């Protein structure tokens, strides 16, 4: 499967995969209402879509709302890839090299490709990213923050995705990358904990 085909397949699949998780959302929200002091409730599931594509899903319920992150994995000519669709903007494409570096550097990887990807996504289901102002291989470069470390790659606007090229662990980061990670992590916290305020800030209201 080519990357363009994978993006098209993911778009076609997403609604049916979301529908499969509706019962999980209701269950988690019901559990959270019973004990709001227990913290976030996180559900992790694997699905095979009607289109025979393989998906992973992380559903997180907190005091404000329920968040869902989905990821589809597939084989292409260059190797084993994963695609995380985006509701707004560009999707995230995790390359074989990125996943190899995660296995080597994170301390949480796994031997097989699917186990390694599952370990990554279940621990790092949302990537918050920003442009660095530099270029790599002729494309705008970006840095992304996930709990386990850093996502480095390039923006491919015409194709509609962030190409996640490599993973850097916390102990490998440069000081300027640490500052960027802290800012992105704070932005992600605002988005997940205070969605209305985040929407106002994003819209330029305040």
For residue 147, give its domain range.
Answer: 3-173
Residue 188 domain-assigned? no
Write out pLDDT tens, residues 111-168.
999 999 999 999 999 998 999 999 999 999 999 999 999 999 999 999 999 999 999 9
Total domain count, the chain: 1
Vertex 134: Cα angle to 81 and 190 (nearest 5): 70
Would 147 be classed as within a structural domain? yes
Residue of 194 and 100 predicted with greater confidence: 100
Among candidates 111, 83, 109, 79, which has minimal Cα distance to 96?
79
Torsions phi, psi of 205, nearest 5?
Answer: -70, -40
Q: Which two tokens stand for residue 166?
A: 């490599």
Q: For residue 25, is it within any domain?
A: yes
Q: What percent of the chain has pLDDT over 90?
A: 60
């Amino acid at each position: 499967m080519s990357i363009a085909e994978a993006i098209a397949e993911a778009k076609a699949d997403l609604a049916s995969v979301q529908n499969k998780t509706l019962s999980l959302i209701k269950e988690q929200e019901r559990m959270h209402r019973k004990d709001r002091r227990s913290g976030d409730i996180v559900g992790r599931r694997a699905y095979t879509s009607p289109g025979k594509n393989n998906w992973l899903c992380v559903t997180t319920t907190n005091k404000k709302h329920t968040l869902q992150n989905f990821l589809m994995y597939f084989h292409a000519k260059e190797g084993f890839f994963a695609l995380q669709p985006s509701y707004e903007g560009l999707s995230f494409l995790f390359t074989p090299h990125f996943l190899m570096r995660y296995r080597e550097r994170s301390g949480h990887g796994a031997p097989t490709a699917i186990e390694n990807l599952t370990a990554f996504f279940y621990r790092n289901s949302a990537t918050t990213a920003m442009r660095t102002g530099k270029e790599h291989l002729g494309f705008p470069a970006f840095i992304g923050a996930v709990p386990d470390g850093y996502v480095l790659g390039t923006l491919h606007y015409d194709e509609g995705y962030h190409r996640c090229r490599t993973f850097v662990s916390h102990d490998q980061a440069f000081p300027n990358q640490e500052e960027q990670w802290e800012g992105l992590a704070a932005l992600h916290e605002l988005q997940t904990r205070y969605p209305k305020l985040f929407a106002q800030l994003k819209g330029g209201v305040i």
